[in-house]
Amino acid sequence: MSLQVGDQAPNFKLFSSELKEVSLADFAGQNVIIHFFPMSFTGTCTEQLCAMRDNFSFYEGVNAQVLGISVDSPFTLAKYKATENYQFPLLSDFNKETSQAYGAFYDEFVYGMKGVSKRAAFVVDADGKITYAQVLENAGDLPDFKAIDDVVKA
């Protein structure tokens, strides 16, 4: 079951594409926008994260931190980040614990792959409460970026 608006966001410690440990608690006192995505270098995932990249100045202006999380290795994420010029951290949930804690996890995905992050978006407020939650069952769908922006602005 995925998390709902009003729930306390589970903390996590994951390695970034720069091989630095990053925790949700590192961003206490600001809004955090968490984007889970199935796989680097795929069309819809790139579209999802490029939307955040291209709107990055808005998020900086409202003191919001953007994070991307997938089950890809930190090394794959580093190449993906460099290729697409993402300004925000990409975090490796290689052990799949964070995706599962947020209810953003496919036990079985396409082509017989098992254990992949679902496409999902969460906004966590300065107090660690979830103020927006969207977990998509269809990996071809995109999060509602306008709704995310509206929540962050409020």
Catalytic residue positions, numbered: 45
- Are 124 and 117 within 8 A, CB to CB? no
- Are 119 and 139 within 8 A, CB to CB? yes
Dist CA 117 CA 30 (whole Å):
25
The DSSP result for 14-37, as a single string, is EEETTS-EEEGGGGTTSEEEEEE-
- Are 40 and 131 within 8 A, CB to CB? no
Dist CA 97 CA 42 (whole Å):
22
Instruction: For residue 134, give the 3-state DSSP assignment.
Output: strand
Sign of CA dihedral 68, 78, 58, 64: positive
